[in-house]
Amino acid sequence: MVGVTGGADEPDITALRSAFIELAHCVEPADSAVGRLVERRGAPQTIHMVRGGSTGLRHGEGIGARLGELRAVDAERRAAKAGARIVTRVDSEWPTQLGDLGHEEPFALWVTGAADLRLLALRSVAVVGARACTAYGEEVARGWSAELAAQGWCVVSGGAYGIDAAAHRGALAAGGSSVCVLAGGVDVPYPRAHDALIARIADEGLVISKTPLGESVRRQRFLSRNRIIAAMTRATLVVEAAVRSGTGATARSAHRMNRPVLAVPGPVTSPASAGCHRMIRDAEAILACEPSEVMDLLDFARRAEHEPSTSTVRCARDQLGTRECRVLDAFPSRGMVGPDRLLAGAGLASGDVWAAVGILESAGWIEAADGGWRLVRR
């Protein structure tokens, strides 16, 4: 086994994964002192120092106490039992754009749902806003999210009351996928009144969190959750927001990370729109009148990355894995393909083929047809 401090040509992925999972349990991602330690010494060595009480950090003892006897292997077992998986910075499913969070990039995410997080995130848009929204805001959030989802965009939000819930519901109603980023553990959905909604999001998309299982929400966790939403997505749409609100903070994060921010105007007599108006006036957000304007901006961002123009949103082929490309090549250019022909054509183990099919669907390359799948036409 390669030494935990690295130095060999091939890094020990297992040791790295374990270290990130353990760091995720005992360190707040915003802890820049630990962040620097991880950068300098690597995650496995950092965890080794935490366990040995030799980090040299004033709060090292507290971190050690939080970690306790926890081992990554147990955490993963517990996650599997709760129907979740842990995705770490070194996993292929990691949304690498979270690196824009700098020292606040999570070490790991708990994920519930079958889709591929990285591929969904690559064609995602955040739809966020006030909990105390108006009927107008709710209608806009639901209607626009449905249109975005119908065009293949994954709607990311925070599962909260108000705009968030309307956005998720709109995306699901249109048969699209949605990602809910929770502030607490994925096994303790918050708010509880959204249990059923959050379960449905996991069925049709993903529910994710950087907070370990069983842990509840806290004010700081809401703020860092908001920044994850901003970093993960291609653009952020603010539907309604009061002046000086959590939503405003999400928008500013997105703006600082050079993600386009769009805001929906409303009556000047509505305090729920005052934050949107402020952002537009201060050029922190672009005024959006209809969902097509959001998509135009997203398409523009996509074209800027030289992706092929398609009728639906899809990830570039070179962002797919070898396995997915092999399965993709087994598809006829027209018409549908059934499971048997696909298995024979791909020449891979059936488990690999079905996993690849799930990812290709997430990535917008194929769609389910009766009894099989077909390529999404450009």
Q: Which residues bind a second copy (CB under 8 A)?
A: 136, 139-140, 264-269, 273-274, 277-278, 280-281, 286-290, 293
**CB closer to a second copy, 55 vs 247:** 247
Closest distance to a second copy from the beta carbon of 54 (Å): 56
Rounded Cα–Cα distance for residues 144 and 222 (Å): 24
Alpha helices in 189-338 (DSSP H): 195-204, 219-232, 246-256, 271-281, 291-304, 322-329
Contacting residues for 251 by C-beta, under 8 A, at least 6 apart: 128, 230, 236, 238, 241, 261, 263, 279, 284, 285
Closest distance to a second copy from the beta carbon of 290 (Å): 7
**CB closer to a second copy, 65 vs 289:** 289
Closest distance to a second copy from the beta carbon of 157 (Å): 19
**CB closer to a second copy, 159 vs 266:** 266
Render 315-342 in DSSP notation, one character per residue: --GGGS-HHHHHHHHTS-SSSEE-HHHH
Rounded Cα–Cα distance for residues 26 and 3 (Å): 23
Closest distance to a second copy from the beta carbon of 127 (Å): 14
Closest distance to a second copy from the beta carbon of 247 (Å): 17
Closest distance to a second copy from the beta carbon of 178 (Å): 22
Q: What DSSP designation does 63 have?
A: H
Q: Greatest CA separation found in the chain? A: 66
Closest distance to a second copy from the beta carbon of 142 (Å): 13
Peptide bond into 191 cis (omega under 30): yes
**CB closer to a second copy, 188 vs 286:** 286
- The amino acid sitting at 122 is L
Provide the angle, in degrees to the nearest 10, between the axes of the packed helices 135-150 and 291-304: 40
Rounded Cα–Cα distance for residues 126 and 236 (Å): 5
Rounded Cα–Cα distance for residues 373 and 339 (Å): 8
**CB closer to a second copy, 267 vs 335:** 267
- Closest by CA to 243, choosing from 284, 298, 208, is 284
**CB closer to a second copy, 144 vs 153:** 144
